[in-house]
Amino acid sequence: MLQFIGCGSAFNTALGNNGAFIKKDNVLFMIDCGSSTFERLQRAKLLEGVDTVHILMTHTHPDHIGSLGDLIFYGYYVMGEFAKPSIHVYAPEKLKVREILRLMAVKDEQYGYYVGNQGEIMGIAYEAFDVPHVPELNAYAYLLEIDGERIYYSGDCSEIPSVIMDKFQSGEIDAFYQDTSKLDYPGNVHLSLNKLTELIPEELRGKVYCMHLDNQFDPEEAKGLGFNVVEAVI
């Protein structure tokens, strides 16, 4: 099961930027690295004893990529062997993560970079799905296979892909992590709790975990509807 460094939306600073992780021995797997993520990693001491970090990117809003450069520099100069890359970034080509990092003066040789819509990290198989978020940039959800369980992770999106809903309703997905807002944002930026309730049958809600929570989100309301709500480790 995924754990979370932070579980808030961009403006819900008390909960930190939404981001999941799995830690195994000296290796850390992460999804996204938002503006507050690097600080929270250090505060939670999640980088202690770690010499390699693998990061899967969903999109390039600041609350998902904002401290990636900091983490890469830390990995290059502090973690593992000095002046050797310890951070490895995975992203679909359309995200143009390398171009963004170059604008931050992060050099190509300071981190590993792997482009593609599917692959495997730490034995975790992943497949990317295009999802609607905002018209200005590309965004991706992921279907993950972790220790025999299939997990959907929405990233930031306003809809659930039909192929994912089909798999979920047929029992092919064991856990479903969905960015869920209380507000119905103009332009359908995120999936609201009202819409999630309409889409997910009551008997399946126990497999759904609400994340990326806005300031107005009431966890008890979501739990009362049968959903789970993720909590950050700090």
Q: Using DSSP bridges, classify how beta strands 118-121 and 124-130 pair: parallel, antiparallel or unpaired.
A: antiparallel
pLDDT tens string 17-62: 999 999 999 999 999 999 999 999 999 999 999 999 999 999 999 9
As given in the structure block, the two tokens for residue 99 are 């171009």
CB atoms within 10 A of CB 100: 16
pLDDT at 7 over 80: yes
The structural domains of the chain, ordered by start, are: 3-229 (3.60.15.10)
Residue 184: which pLDDT band, with cuts at 50, 70 and 90?
confident
Give the DSSP letter string of the chain.
--EEEE-B-TT-TTT-B-EEEEEETTEEEEE---TTHHHHHHHTTTTTT--EEEEE----SHHHHTTHHHHHHHHHHTSSSTTS--EEEEE-GGG-HHHHHHHTT--GGGSEEEE-SEEEETTEEEEEEE--S-TTS--EEEEEEETTEEEEE--S-SS--HHHHHHHHTT--SEEEEEEESS--TT--SEEHHHHHHHS-GGGGGGEEEESB-TT--HHHHHHTT-EE--B--
108-133: pLDDT as tens digits: 999 999 999 999 999 999 999 999 99
Tokens (6 digits) for 134: 């905002």
Identify the CA nearest to 15 among candidates 181, 128, 151: 181
Q: Provide the pLDDT confidence category of residue 185 given band limits of 50, 70 and 90.
A: confident
| Antiparallel, parallel or unpaired: β 52-56 and 87-91 | parallel
Q: Quick one: average pLDDT of 224-232? A: 98
**Given this model, what pLDDT does residue 162 score?**
97
pLDDT in tens, 54-107: 999 999 999 999 999 999 999 999 999 999 999 999 999 999 999 999 999 999
Q: Which two tokens stand for residue 87?
A: 């951070």
Q: What is the mean pLDDT of the chain?
A: 97
